[in-house]
Amino acid sequence: MAGQSNPDLSVFSAPEVEFLAEDEMVEIVPNIRMEALNMICGDFGPFFPQIASKVPLWLAVALKKRGKCTIRTPEWMSVERLTQVLEAERESPREFQPLPFHYVEISRLLFDRAHDDIPDLYMVRSLIEDIRDVRFHKVETGLETISGRTHAVKLKNLSAMEVNIVRPFMVRALQAFYRHDSPQMIQQPRTMGSRQPQVVDRGPRRDLRPR
């Protein structure tokens, strides 16, 4: 979407969002024995072969890369659950279904690094793509309802990556509406301090479009 390459507006780069997602916990089944890890981010292990253990995603991926474990696909990434979510998404045009905040990044990482651990891989992948499409379409439709009166937007259940993609455009759009809908506020160019007393009463508003 527009503004993605502008760091001022996009705030987080996609790799940074993934970095945040990598701290989410997943279950692994190690095939080795390893002592407990006392890390800055937490304590994990000790690890025994065939005994499931919870670790952060980055750790799971590192172990998997070296062939030391398999990763247990999270519950929400099953064909049944995802089909339910997809149907619900299609049936409610204005609500987003609850999904893990980092579902995009988690599924992406697992597809890339642990695809052999995911049952029904192609089905799961296709379901998640469809879910992403439906949700993003809802975001776009929602953007059309922004007007000068929009002083707050509620985006319940939107996920991290979706937030990051839509952020630059939404911020610019809301800013533009906020500024242009206040005829009595004195327009100040960005770099100048606006120390004149702000007129808070924004005056009578006119709807430009009949609703």
Structure token digits, residue 53: 């253990």
How many binding residues for another protein (CB under 8 A)? Answer: 44
Instruction: Check residue 84 for interaction with another protein (CB under 8 A).
Output: no
Minimum Å distance from CB 61 to another protein? 10
- Rg of the chain on CA atoms, in Å: 23
Among 2, 19, 90, 147, binds another protein (CB under 8 A): 19
Q: Phi and psi for 55 in degrees, rounded to 5?
A: -140, 165
SS3 162: helix
The length of the chain, given as a count of residues: 211
- CB 51, CB 30: distance < 8 Å: yes
Minimum Å distance from CB 82 to another protein? 22
Helix (H) or strand (E) holding 131: helix 121-143
Stretch 29-68: interaction string toward another protein, x if CB under 8 A: -----xx-xxxxxxx--------------xx--xx--x-x
Binding site for another protein (CB under 8 A): 11-12, 19-20, 22-23, 34-35, 37-43, 58-59, 62-63, 66, 68, 151-158, 160, 163, 167, 170-171, 174-175, 178, 190-193, 195, 200-201
